[in-house]
Structure 1
Amino acid sequence: MFSRFFSLFGGLAAVTFAASSALAPEALAASRDQVFFQSVSGIWKGPGEIVAGKYKGTKFTCHLTGEPAPGGETGMKLDGTCRVGVFKQPMSAVITHNGKGYQGKFLDGAEGKGLDIISGSVSGDKVVMGINRAKLNGAMVASLRGDNKMNITISVKVEDQMVPVIGLTLDRDMDSIAVGSIR
């Protein structure tokens, strides 16, 4: 029952250093984006809820690890799990810069049981990704709230309106951060 929800939910959540001004505008933008993705690297966990649709009111928790995109590309790789009661679903995503925006996949992409990332942009402490699966179009918005909290909203397009369907609040897992040694 919930595996279909998690398949569509994909590896969300959710969810990068400044360059010199001598870089070309595209390279400078990619470097600013990279600062965002580096800032969200790490282990995140927290609750979420389905706020619309057939499973409205369903609460779940996620435990996700974000790291820089493979090969030094601008973007990120996300792995982890989300759980509803005894049901546990693996989550994964890869998001990379493609020159003018972003592309990637949640789970195995729209050809499988997941979603495709078809566009995206980073602005300060927020990223907006366009998502698609067959006739379903929508967006995932991830916003940092300080260094250790992130809010994620997934919305789908219904007629001419974006309708929020999933909300998630993640906290950085401070217990997983090494703080040095004690002698």
Structure 2
Amino acid sequence: MSSASRLLALLPFAAALAVTAQEPAAASERDQRFFKQVEGQWSGPGEIVAGKYKGTKFVCTFAGSTPRDAIGMALDGGCRVGVFNQDMSARVERARSGYRGTFLDGAKGKGLDVVSGSVNGKYAVFGIHRNELTGAMRAQLTDKETMNITISVHVEEELVPVIGMTLKRLDTQAVGALATE
């Protein structure tokens, strides 16, 4: 998998993210509200903002859903760079010790593992991992129709943003209401 493919592979994760442990029931409800807002059809442009492929532009389209019996989300879709398409899928669920999940087939395959996460009102952040690559994905619902995603990776001691994108809701009606926290 090329460096550009690995960077593109991070994109869908940015759509949802770790839990603060103040009141478990309140945190669970807050997290569930956030993930419900991610349900539906999303599409938009993005750009690699650092590294070898800096300036590369792409467009992604995703279908977001939530599991029936767990707190979390699934994203299915793909991203296009020029004439090249890459299928994307991600699964994230709350586990006893935080959020866990996979992008594509996880770090044991060609993808990434989600190893942590938290949700705070209108945004979520997930820790990502594959071999020596570690980083974070942040998804922020700026309003009912817009989600901004930033993916950052650790370079030495610093967390460096490498991918940014803005997704717009394609559904005719937004799912859920933005939390006021």
Q: Is the 8 A contact 1:95 1:117 kept in 2?
A: yes
Tell me which amino acid in the other structure corresponds to 2:164: G
Alignment match of 2:64 (pick from 55, 63, 66): 66
Cα RMSD for the two superposed structures: 2.1
**1:79-98 paired onto structure 2 within 5 Å:** 79-98=76-95
Tell me which amino acid in the other structure corresponds to 2:8: F
Q: TM-score, normalised by structure 1?
A: 0.85
| 1:110 and 2:107 are equivalent in the alignment | yes
Q: After the TM superposition, list the runs of 4 or more consecutive aligned residues in structure 1 that deviate by more than 4 angstroms.
A: none
Cα distance in 2 between the residues matched to 1:133 and 1:124: 28
| Structure label with greater radius of gyration | 1
By how many angstroms is 1:112 displaced?
1.0
Identical-residue share of aligned pairs (%): 55
What's the counterpart of residue 45 of structure 1? 43
Tell me which of the two structures has the higher relative contact order, counting C-alpha pairs closer than 8 angstroms and 6 or more residues apart.
2
**1:22-171 paired onto structure 2 within 5 Å:** 25-69=23-67, 71-171=68-168
Q: Aligned pairs, how many?
A: 168
By how many angstroms is 1:8 displaced?
4.3
Q: Deviations over 1:84-105 (max 9, x none)?
A: 0110000000000012421101
Cα distance in 2 between the residues matched to 1:13 and 1:169: 13
| 1:6 and 2:33 are equivalent in the alignment | no
Query: Mind listing any 5+ residue stretches in structure 1 that lack a counterpart?
Result: 17-23, 179-183
Query: Mind listing any 5+ residue stretches in structure 2 that lack a counterpart?
Result: 17-21, 175-181
Q: Deviations over 1:133-170 (max 9, x none)?
A: 10010000000111010000000011111000000110
What's the counterpart of residue 15 of structure 1? 15
